[in-house]
Chain A
Amino acid sequence: AQSVTQLGSHVSVSEGALVLLRCNYSSSVPPYLFWYVQYPNQGLQLLLKYTSAATLVKGINGFEAEFKKSETSFHLTKPSAHMSDAAEYFCAVRKTSYDKVIFGPGTSLSVIP
């Protein structure tokens, strides 16, 4: 069965510093991978998705993620954190559009002024 691991349930960074949120998946074949962001008391919003077209994926709000098959990883990065980036971030994996989406436990990002 597929699974998703997010290292670090809470991450704190200073404003302007690099944001790095880790995601590792277990899958026998390269799946489709997603990063979602959730602000308090709101639904999830898609940040970016990996579809095998390119290993480096650019998303909204300056975020990007790199798919590394050898490491089964899909880490999310942003060069310079902004206060508005404080939120919960979820990594997710899906084998095909007919399969269930498997979510990681989430990482709460705090940005310190």
Chain B
Amino acid sequence: DGGITQSPKYLFRKEGQNVTLSCEQNLNHDAMYWYRQDPGQGLRLIYYSQIVNDFQKGDIAEGYSVSREKKESFPLTVTSAQKNPTAFYLCASSIVGTLTGELFFGEGSRLTVL
């Protein structure tokens, strides 16, 4: 079945450590996105990419980094510079150039900093 796979589902990290969240899709979608979700808040865009080897900052990119070396993969690194990294992280993808380009989401990764 086609879809988006995020791993790990749960991750614990000590302060000062970098962590990388994986996002893989087999939908052949051009665009991929990373969102952050905090309790009681909506989704905030961290980074997005519409084509391989190119990506743009979203609304809250500070303390995060991404790469897009392959169409199907868009890993997110949460660096030690991110002041408050504990959150639920969602990866999404979409087709570029279609009528609506609705987003398809993965199951999410919950990061807790101890």
Q: Write the residues of chain A forming the contact surface with B, with a CB cutoff of 8 angstroms.
A: 9, 32, 34, 36, 41-46, 49, 51, 90, 92, 94, 96-98, 100-101, 103-106
**Across the interface, do A100 and B48 meet the contact criterion of CB distance under 8 Å?**
yes
- Contact among A42, A98, A106 for B107, CB-based, below 8 A: A42
- Contact among B41, B50, B90, B94 for A43, CB-based, below 8 A: B90
Give 10 closest A-B pairs by Cβ, nearest first. Answer: A97-B101, A43-B105, A105-B42, A44-B105, A32-B100, A103-B43, A103-B42, A43-B107, A43-B108, A43-B106
Given A34-B100, A41-B110, list of 13 further CB < 8 A pairs? A9-B40, A34-B102, A34-B103, A36-B105, A43-B6, A43-B108, A44-B92, A46-B103, A92-B103, A96-B101, A97-B95, A100-B45, A106-B41
**Across the interface, do A32 and B99 meet the contact criterion of CB distance under 8 Å?**
yes
**Across the interface, do B99 and A97 meet the contact criterion of CB distance under 8 Å?**
yes
**Across the interface, do B105 and A94 meet the contact criterion of CB distance under 8 Å?**
no
* Closest-CB distance, A87 to chain B (whole angstroms): 14
A sample of 17 cross-chain residue pairs with beta-carbon separation below 8 angstroms, ordered by A number, consists of A41-B110, A42-B108, A43-B4, A43-B108, A44-B103, A45-B105, A90-B43, A92-B103, A94-B101, A97-B94, A97-B101, A98-B96, A98-B97, A100-B48, A103-B43, A105-B41, A106-B42
